[in-house]
Amino acid sequence: MKTLKPHRKIQGALTLPGDKSISHRAALLSLLCGESLRILNFSDGEDCAASLKAVQTLGCTVESSSKRSLTITPPQSAPKDSVKIDCGNSGTTARLLAGILSGLDIPAEIVGDESLSKRPMKRVIDPLRELGASFAESAETLPLHIKGGAHGSLNYRMPVASAQVKSSILFAACAGGGEVAVIEDVRTRDHSERLLKHLGATITTHHPRVELKEDPNDPRKKTRTVLDDWKARIVVKGNGKLAGGDIDIPGDMSTAAFFFAAAAIGKGEVTIENLGLNPTRTAFLDHLRAIGCETHVESRVTISEEPRGVVTVRGSKLKGRKISGALAAQLIDEIPIIAVMACFADGPTIIRDVEELRVKECDRLEALIDNLRRMGAKVGSVENDGIVVEAKGEMQPTDFKSFGDHRIAMAMSIAALFLAGESTIDDADCVAVSCPHFYELLDSIKQ
């Protein structure tokens, strides 16, 4: 049980550990490289450690040269016998590794902890089977028994917006020498595409075609027609080993969201250097502007195909907002802290189309409803896929429950800063999944 004391004055500058999504992908793609990968600013969270442990189990060597800097050398040959790989609590590790192992024809059993063993895997298994992969049995959850065989061609339209599913398919094609086209109706984070390009893969991202015609009623104007009914079509063809080299990982936007939220609620100011500015990850900055905050971006640069910069957020009087559809998919990891900010805003915040939150480390929708009501907010569920949050007077201190979920623990810890007295939260150590030094970083911006 951790005691959380109120502290409303927020100001300071931070540098964060590397982006969690990119760190996972960099570690796992080392299995497909012809030479060593040198990775700078690798995430120090437990989830990414699971990906490192997985590649070591498969024969890679991992050497740390300095804090969060490491070199991964791929094995000379693949394991001959079946390998058991424990992914802990990391769904990213399990789903992306399923694609790589299917393409490499490495027989393996993928297992995880109790929480991960309940999370859906069928969304990955189905397209991998269409690509030719074989599994020992009909599997919808872990453990997965992989036999290999993903060497075919596939044109796959994503039934659900998921960067993990997309990445698993793309990685399987690179590993197995096949050719796939993944079609997205809702654009998801594109770290896999950028990293594959950086490592020399044959990959192309097609955007919808646009036709311009003269307006028959006014020849000075043109009408714009989008000819394709999708947002992106990503084509990958496996053609041997990927290149090694250097990967420099920017700071994690999903972690930054908690510190920016503290500035937003407390009308303070927080600056984060070397922060990832991938366009598929900056919707949270747009959200902050939409609810009344100021955001400033300086020193933009692109390294290892990933844009980054120095970002400053200044808080102000907040207002409610409606989030749904494609925007909800882009903000899926930030929904817990967005719900917390809604408790300190004028007007309701309506969040829809986030049913995916029910199959994370916990049911995050139910966890939010429970915790926000504990501190006095007005919270209601919207069918099965969302919530409505509204302030109801001054929020009161309470005993928060983390439900063993790092994002719930961090979100409620930010809320506690602005309550009328001391609160507590159980199992605060679960923040180590993504940001082990979260509370130290938080203390550094308390003024």
Active site residues: 333
CA–CA separation, 153 and 45 (whole Å): 35
Cβ-based neighbours of 414, under 8 Å, separated by 6 or more: 258, 261, 262, 265, 337, 340, 442
Question: Which tokens is 372 given?
Answer: 């926000």
* 259 Cα distance to chain centroid: 17
Sign of CA dihedral 344, 348, 351, 357: positive
- Say if residues 294 and 313 touch (Cβ distance below 8 Å): yes
Question: Which tokens is 425 given?
Answer: 């939260």
CA–CA separation, 434 and 228 (whole Å): 38
- Say if residues 291 and 327 touch (Cβ distance below 8 Å): no
- Say if residues 337 and 438 touch (Cβ distance below 8 Å): no
CA–CA separation, 248 and 23 (whole Å): 10
CA–CA separation, 276 and 274 (whole Å): 7
DSSP string, 132-156: T-EESS--SSS-EEEEE---SEEEE
- Cα Rg of the chain (Å, integer): 22
Reduce the secondary structure of 240-291 to three states and give it as a string: CCECCEEEECCECHHHHHHHHHHHHHHCCEEEEEEEECCCCCCHHHHHHHHC
| Nearest CA-CA partner of 345 in 297, 400, 392, 411 | 392
Sign of CA dihedral 350, 354, 355, 359: negative
Burial class (CB in 10 A: 0-12, 13-18, 19+), 200: middle
DSSP state for residue 19 in the 8-state scheme: P
- Say if residues 40 and 248 touch (Cβ distance below 8 Å): yes
Long-range contacts of 118-124 (CB under 8 A, 24+ apart): 119/91, 119/359, 119/360, 120/359, 121/94, 121/95, 123/159, 123/160, 123/162, 123/165, 124/95, 124/98, 124/99, 124/164, 124/165, 124/168
